[in-house]
Structure 1
């Protein structure tokens, strides 16, 4: 879980998540899931935050049933697809979900 202060400290990344969700035409459930996942997994290093935010957005959309491709999410978040690929399953598992096996 995260603290309320985490939302304030990461306002820039949450705004970027929201912009990317707009461009991907994701609904409020996907956005809420992505926000919760990101704030629960915020890395200490700034250089890791874009990839974590993108993986959280991808995972949040999966949970909400609004699947988007890793490439589409990576483009919307301006990261590489590999950044998402390396992180999304761990984020889902840490949140108590079982990643799909496709």
Structure 2
């Protein structure tokens, strides 16, 4: 997993060639990395490129958001914020 983390960090933070990068995928969820942003709104702007247009979101548990998409689907997203980057996990089928 360290190699995948390194690859994602280089793509998103060092080379700045991607807005987000897949770190790992397990059954039921996937974890991505993106640069740290000033606000959660900026984070969701990047995530929209991955999941589709976001209609609304609300915070659930600590750092976990329930996101409602324009097509009425729901996605749970968990954030882990660090100084240089943010890891976020999505529920996937």
Judging by fraction of residues, say which structure has more helix: 1
TM-score of the pair, normalised by structure 1: 0.28
Judging by fraction of residues, say which structure has more strand: 2
TM-score of the pair, normalised by structure 2: 0.30
Who wins on radius of gyration, i.e. which is larger? 2
